[in-house]
């Protein structure tokens, strides 16, 4: 296939000026090295906002190194030029909670979390990569809950000191992600950086919208405190939008400061690629933005969390080492492998193609690179180039990535001389460059497999202040600390009070394990540091935002002995299934809790004695977890998950509550008379509905009413995750919309779709 692809591209690439027998060129581009433009600041990505890199550190070698190479190694993959790091604050900021360096005032841990490790790995591969720090949340002690305080400025200075301990120089520092700005605080930050020896750190304001620029124009003192104007999702459609155009403001342009898309993306590693490249090229053409930072860096998160396939790579399975890159990896490479921060744009050599698409050109004064995207074109077109003004005219190299099903990052042709014509196919990215040294990594992922049970961890093998393997904090911060009242080490919840949050509050909890776990027992030793309630979780499946909207069962026991078995769902509803009183846990004493899931029976026990049982069938598979109701510095030890008997996997028909008919798999998912055929035999597992090895899929990841539902290769995308709500509706995890039988029809062959949930009988379904 690759050979055919290369030959095809070579055939449509004319390596000469257009002659009289050739089609008229749609676009003429003069690349003149004497012409100017803004300085290019780089293409990067964001580790944070939040927890989206969590599982990568737990990957085995060599796969962990392979993923890092694909992200950071020059001439290998995405070759990122900027890495933005979350400054952890013990609170969830989308896909998890990242630990603070200072949970309580004055106690600093520079070795916690994984962001320092990630930055070190990035720097080891590319010493020129620049680092950017930004807070989403903060510990609750700061400013007595006020982020815009002297405490927060001092906290950032402490964080910069931790960076120095790790041998890391921070290049850029922001304020509070997407929470506006306080002018006096930014001025204080600017002055404090200079006073504390960090005068080289550039301040980004305000990691929200362009409105900060208006105050900068009005207030010269404030303007001096902000070095870079950073806006989030400034292109068409906003967060996750199509980016067919981008925008800024007259005030932003008049500041004279660099303008950055300091967060962009929020899209699938494959289907979001066209928007990614448009944001880069059209971001400069339309709005003079000189840096693009993709959110997130990668999806190294459990697949039941939001945005589980979003980023430049996907790595949800550390026990197997399985990972994948995507089109977005190589769209990024089409820019980063041919440019460097410090180059400048040639404004006269950038624009919109005659048919459809866009292009930008950058240069270091000798070499140049022109990046072209034809993502909105429907037919082939030609572009004629003339190179002048002292630029390298000896040879240029054409690389291409298909935005469709074709190969990625292929060297397709070389062009010689001061002029040439290219035929540009639709739905492509091209880079024409006089630089060399590009390459495409060859490492491959092993096959994915589940995490086998039994699983147990006594936590004694970890360094104090670090995170336990596979435990992914959703809220609060669970760190390894010496046990109190017994020998060895334990997991301790370190946030004693509610943090300054970015996303809504929830109990402090942490998840671990495989979505395919079904019948099993979770057990752990627990110690309450104060009066309150601890919990063990099981069958934790789909999570919506905020993190309290979690499909799961909870076995909760308080210091008084009050216990309950609770079902939660991803609408945020908690339903108590059973409750009572058992042995009081007290405080500062160790007890063993366990909860067993066997079929539809849930059994909670304290110190080996059954506290109570409940019967419920809504969740059949999912992860284990530990948690605290609220915030306390409670401890957990000897966490174990042991297998039960039998498989809880549900298999059979999906029947309509309106028509009494079945959902039938095919090119589209349709209604049909129930006949027991293989096309009607669905497997409900891990949040997905599968038939013949493929998944029920919302077409194109669209969220509009009327989008058809089809069968597609399973990829873990949120458009393939379904949850049955308490009202009997079947809801897409991506949009929250319901599987719908349009028009209340009962006709065979009716294609199913998604629609706003309305409680109608045509949205009621019975799963196997």
Q: What is the 3-class SS of 132-193, one letter each residue? A: EEEECCECCCHHHHCCCCHHHHHHHHHHHHHHHHCCCCCCEEEEECCCCCCHHHHHHHHHHH
- Give the Cα separation of 579 and 549 in Å (integer): 21
What is the C-alpha to C-alpha distance for residues 651 and 243, in angstroms, rounded to an integer? 41
Taking the CA atoms of 268, 272, 276 and 282 in sequence, report the sign of the dihedral they define: negative
Task: Give the DSSP H or E segment for 596.
Answer: strand 590-598
DSSP of 94-132: SS-BPPPS-SBTTB--TT-SSHHHHHHHHHHH-TT-EEE
Give φ, ψ of 357 to 5 degrees.
Answer: 125, 180
Question: Which are the contacts of 670, defined by CB distance < 8 A and separation ≥ 6?
Answer: 663, 664, 748, 749, 750, 751, 752
Taking a C-beta distance cutoff of 8 angstroms, is the pair 269, 310 a contact? yes
* Residue 72 CA: distances (Å) to CA of 44, 116, 262, 337: 10, 15, 19, 11
- Integer CA distances (angstroms), 681 to 10, 215, 676, 677, in order: 47, 61, 7, 7
Alpha-carbon gap, residue 761 to 309, rounded angstroms: 32
Distances from the Cα of 641 to the Cα of 121, 425, 526, 573, 644, angstroms? 32, 54, 15, 26, 10
C-alpha distances (whole Å) from 3 to each of 7, 11, 185, 365, 410 are 6, 12, 58, 35, 10
Q: Could you count the other beta carbons within 10 Å of the beta carbon of residue 245? A: 16
d(CA 215, CA 476): 35
* Residue whose entry in the numeric block shows the structure tokens 């309290």: 548
Return the structure tokens found at 182: 């306080």
* CA–CA dist 455, 581 (Å, integer): 29
Would you say 347 and 339 are in contact if contact means Cβ atoms under 8 Å apart? Answer: no
Element (H, E) at 556: strand 552-558
For the beta carbon of residue 84, count every other beta carbon within 10 angstroms: 29
The whole-angstrom separation of Cα 155 and Cα 204 is 17
For the question of residue 178 being annotated catalytic, the response is yes
**Which helix (DSSP H) or strand (DSSP E) does residue 333 occupy?**
helix 327-336
Question: What are the beta bridge partners of residue 738?
Answer: 731, 755
98, 102, 115, 263: which one is catalytic?
263
Residues pairing with 203 in the sheet: 173
Whether 621 contacts 516, CB under 8 Å: yes
CB-count exposure of residue 220 (10 Å: 0-12, 13-18, 19+): exposed
CA distance linking residue 707 with residue 738, whole number of Å = 11
Cα–Cα distance for residue pair 315/562, rounded to 1 Å? 40
Instruction: Collapse the DSSP code of 454 into the 3-class scheme (helix H, G, I; strand E, B; otherwise coil) and give the result.
Output: coil
Three-state secondary structure call for residue 285: helix
DSSP codes of every residue in 634-700: -EEEEEEEEE-SS---EEE--EETTTS-EEE-SSB-EEE-----GGG-EEEETTEEEETTEEEEEGG
263 is catalytic: yes
Backbone angles phi, psi at 269, to 5 degrees: -60, -20
Q: Cα(475)–Cα(498) distance, rounded to whole angstroms?
A: 10
Other beta carbons within 10 Å of 541: 23
Provide the annotated active-site residues. Answer: 178, 263
């Amino acid at each position: 296939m690759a050979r055919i692809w290369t030959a095809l591209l070579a055939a449509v690439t004319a390596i000469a000026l257009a002659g009289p027998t050739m089609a008229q060129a749609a676009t003429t581009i003069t690349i003149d090295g004497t012409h100017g433009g803004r300085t290019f600041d780089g293409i990067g990505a964001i580790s944070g906002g939040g927890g989206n890199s969590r599982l990568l550190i737990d990957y085995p070698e060599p796969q962990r190194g392979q993923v890092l190479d694909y992200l950071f190694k020059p001439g290998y993959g995405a070759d990122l030029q900027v890495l933005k790091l979350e400054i952890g604050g013990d609170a969830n900021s989308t896909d998890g909670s990242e630990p603070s360096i200072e949970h309580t005032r004055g106690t600093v841990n520079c070795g916690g979390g994984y962001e320092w490790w990630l930055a070190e790995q990035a720097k080891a591969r590319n010493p020129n990569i620049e680092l950017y720090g930004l807070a989403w949340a903060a510990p609750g002690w700061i400013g007595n809950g006020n982020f815009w305080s002297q405490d927060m400025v001092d906290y950032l200075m402490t964080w910069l000191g931790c960076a120095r301990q790790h041998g890391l120089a921070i290049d850029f520092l922001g304020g509070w992600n997407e929470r506006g700005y306080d002018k006096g605080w930014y001025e204080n930050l600017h002055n404090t950086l200079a006073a504390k020896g960090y005068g080289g750190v550039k301040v980004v304001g305000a990691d929200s919208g362009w409105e900060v620029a208006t105050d900068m124009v009005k207030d010269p003192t404030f303007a001096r405190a902000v070095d870079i104007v950073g806006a989030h999702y400034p292109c068409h459609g906003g967060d996750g939008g199509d980016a067919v155009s981008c925008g800024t403001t007259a005030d932003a342009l008049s500041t004279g400061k660099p303008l950055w898309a300091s967060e962009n993306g929020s899209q699938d590693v494959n289907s979001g690629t066209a928007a990614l490249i448009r944001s880069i090229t059209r971001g400069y053409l339309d709005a003079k933005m000189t840096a693009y930072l993709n959110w997130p860096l990668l999806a190294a998160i459990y697949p039941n969390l939001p945005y589980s396939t979003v980023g430049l790579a996907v790595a949800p399975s550390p026990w197997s080492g399985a990972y994948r890159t995507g089109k977005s990896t190589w769209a990024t490479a089409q820019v980063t492998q041919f440019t460097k921060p410090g180059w400048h744009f040639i404004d006269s050599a950038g624009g919109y193609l005659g048919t459809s698409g866009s292009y930008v050109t950058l240069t270091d004064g000798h070499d140049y690179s022109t990046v072209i995207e034809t993502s909105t074109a429907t037919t082939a077109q030609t572009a004629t180039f003339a190179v002048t003004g002292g630029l390298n005219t000896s040879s240029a190299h054409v690389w291409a990535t298909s935005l469709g099903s074709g190969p990625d990052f292929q060297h397709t042709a070389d062009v010689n001389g001061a002029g040439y014509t290219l035929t540009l196919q639709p739905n492509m990215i091209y880079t024409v460059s006089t630089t060399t040294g590009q390459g495409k990594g060859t490492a491959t992922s092993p096959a994915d497999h589940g995490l086998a049970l039994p699983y147990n961890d006594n936590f004694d093998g970890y360094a104090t202040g670090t995170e336990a393997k596979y435990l992914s904090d959703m809220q609060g911060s669970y760190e390894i600390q010496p046990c109190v009242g017994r020998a060895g080490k334990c997991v301790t919840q370190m946030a004693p009070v509610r943090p300054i949050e970015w996303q809504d509050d929830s109990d402090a909890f942490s998840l671990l394990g495989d979505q395919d776990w079904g019948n099993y027992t979770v057990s752990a030793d627990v110690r309450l540091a104060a009066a309150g309630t601890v919990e063990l979780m099981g069958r934790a499946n789909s999570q919506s935002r905020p993190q309290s909207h979690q499909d799961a069962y909870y076995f909760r026991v308080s210091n008084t002995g009050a216990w309950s078995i609770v079902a939660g769902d991803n609408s945020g509803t908690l339903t108590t299934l059973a409750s009572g009183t058992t042995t009081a846990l007290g405080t500062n004493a160790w007890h063993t809790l366990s909860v067993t899931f066997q079929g539809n029976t849930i059994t909670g026990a304290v110190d080996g004695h059954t506290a109570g049982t409940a019967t419920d069938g809504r969740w059949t598979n999912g992860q284990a977890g530990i948690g605290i109701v609220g915030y306390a510095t409670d401890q957990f030890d000897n966490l174990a998950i042991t297998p039960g008997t039998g498989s809880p996997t549900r298999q059979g028909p999906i029947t309509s509550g309106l028509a009494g008919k079945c959902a039938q798999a095919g090119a589209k998912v349709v209604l049909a008379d129930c006949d027991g055929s293989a096309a009607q035999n669905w497997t409900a597992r891990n949040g997905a509905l599968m038939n013949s090895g493929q998944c029920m899929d919302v077409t194109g990841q669209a969220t509009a009413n009327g989008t058809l539902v089809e069968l597609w290769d399973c990829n873990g995308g949120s458009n393939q995750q379904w949850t049955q709500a308490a009202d009997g509706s079947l809801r897409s995890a991506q949009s929250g919309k319901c599987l719908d039988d349009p028009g209340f029809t009962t006709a065979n062959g009716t294609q199913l779709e998604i629609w706003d949930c309305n409680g109608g009988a045509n949205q009621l379904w019975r799963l196997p």
